[in-house]
Amino acid sequence: MDINTLCVHSGNKDHSNGAVSMPIYQSATFSHLGVGKSTGYDYSRLANPTRTELETIITKLEYGYDAMAFSTGMAAIVAVMDMFSPGDHIIASDDLYGGSYRFFNNISNKNGLRFDFVDTSNVDNVKKHISKDTKAIFVETPSNPMMHVSDIGLLSELGKENNILVIVDNTFLTPYFMNPIHLGANIVIHSGTKYLGGHNDTLAGFIIVDSEELSEKLRFIYKTVGACLSPFDSWLLIRGIKTLAIRMEKQQANAKVIAEWLTKHPKIKNVNYIGLETHPGFDISKKQGRGFGAMISFETDLEETAVKLLENVQIILYAESLGGVETLITYPMLQTHADVPQEEREKLGINEKFLRLSVGIEDYEDLIYDLETALK
């Protein structure tokens, strides 16, 4: 079945009364049919019919073995890290969402995990850091916010050779544009708050796994920690995913035009968009995905230009997050990456002139006019 159809029709659905929309089972607990008898639902922390519908959809979209829906994307990452033990070593992309970096360097380190942050777009960098204690490679591709592209296939081969899990955060491209499990990854993570929800109205996270073994480990953590997605929020995600395909196509089309426009503006120094043929990861992106997404980052000529742009846009909203139908612009050094030490931020290129743009579904000419006016 084509992914456009899967977005609309990939769930089990509840057709017992002819409902086209999956009901919201707003129940914390479920009655038993008798001693030792269950409908399959006992308590909503363990499972809920609305959430199961959503997890079925995500499993099919990512071609996984199982999927779990969490209260946030960070809750999903926390659950994955809970699989590891003190002394375990993890290789992670050096350009990561600031919340992931904060969690790894504070909570995970406190719990005894060790991290090396490397440029995972260069497989040789990853090879150099593998040790007998290495248990996983954690990758964002494209990365947040520098848009570095890692070759999931090559990293997955490296993982299999060394019995190392490959974990891919697929938030930026979504299962509509890329399927990391097809490329050899073991675990896929999403912030469902972003493109999967698509409307900036709820928080959610997902873990998708490629095997029964990983499913059992993570479902145990899932039910024990209890950071599961509520029935109503599950329903919002089901509704959001129905329009994922058309949103992603429109947002990508807008992003391509805007990225090309930014490259020609005299006050813009560098533009990072993986759909530009000049991007160093362009060929890898074409090889491992079906599209380039709608995330752009860029550097202005001066700090004053960046601040002026943020304070003068009218249609574009100066706000954190990404992936919704509204175009959002973010100042990473003060927002998403504020907890990354200044020296490390600047080494990556995240400075006072650096901005990130999540392109929405508005008319691209209006968005360009908004940027052009704010830059004057």
Q: Which of 45, 267, 286, 290 is catalytic?
A: 45
Residue 16: the pLDDT is: 67
Residue 15: the pLDDT is: 59
What DSSP string describes 243-310? THHHHHHHHHHHHHHHHHHHHT-TTEEEEE-TTSTTSTTHHHHHHH-S---SEEEEEESSHHHHHHHH
Q: 70 and 207 in contact (C-beta within 8 Å)?
A: yes
Tokens of 234: 């599950």
Q: 121-135 burial by CB neighbour count: b if 16+ within 10 A, else e?
A: bebeebeebbeeebb
Residue type, 293: G
Residue closest to 206 by CA, chosen among 23, 60, 2: 60
Q: Per DSSP, what are the bridge partners of residue 139?
A: 168
- Identify the H or E element spanning 80: helix 73-81
Inter-CA distances, 293 with 95, 177, 245, 285, Å: 18, 7, 11, 10
Residue 1: the pLDDT is: 85
Report which DSSP code applies to 230.
Answer: P
CA 157/CA 123 separation, integer angstroms: 10
The crossing angle, in degrees rounded to 10, of helices 49-61 and 231-242 is: 40
CA 246/CA 97 separation, integer angstroms: 26
CATH number of 3-242: 3.40.640.10
Query: Has 169 been annotated as catalytic?
Result: yes
Report which DSSP code applies to 47.
Answer: -
Domain 245-375 has CATH 3.90.1150.10: yes
Q: 66 and 55 in contact (C-beta within 8 Å)?
A: yes
Sequential pLDDT tens for the chain (376 residues):
899 999 998 876 665 677 888 999 999 999 988 898 888 899 999 999 999 999 999 999 999 999 999 999 999 999 999 999 999 999 999 999 999 999 999 999 999 999 999 999 999 999 999 999 999 999 999 999 999 999 999 999 999 999 999 999 999 999 999 999 999 999 999 999 999 999 999 999 999 999 999 999 999 999 999 999 999 999 999 999 999 999 999 999 999 999 999 999 999 999 999 999 999 999 999 999 999 999 999 999 999 999 999 999 999 999 999 999 999 999 998 887 887 888 888 888 899 999 999 999 999 999 999 999 999 9
Query: Has 97 been annotated as catalytic?
Result: yes
Predicted TM-score (pTM) of the model is 0.95
Q: Which of 97, 101, 195, 364 is catalytic?
A: 97
CA 173/CA 177 separation, integer angstroms: 5
Residue 95: the pLDDT is: 93
Tokens of 274: 């993986």
Inter-CA distances, 301 with 259, 306, 352, Å: 16, 8, 10
CA 153/CA 238 separation, integer angstroms: 30
Angle at 358 between CA 229 and CA 319, to 5 degrees: 75
Query: Has 219 been annotated as catalytic?
Result: no
Residue 175: the pLDDT is: 98
Residue closest to 355 by CA, chosen among 327, 315, 314, 325: 327
Residue 13: the pLDDT is: 64
Residue 336: the pLDDT is: 79
Q: Which of 135, 194, 345, 356 is catalytic?
A: 194
Residues 6+ positions from 52 with CB-CB distance below 8 Å: 12
Q: Which of 169, 210, 233, 370 is catalytic?
A: 169
Residue type, 27: S
Residue 197: the pLDDT is: 98
Domain spans, the chain: 3-242, 245-375
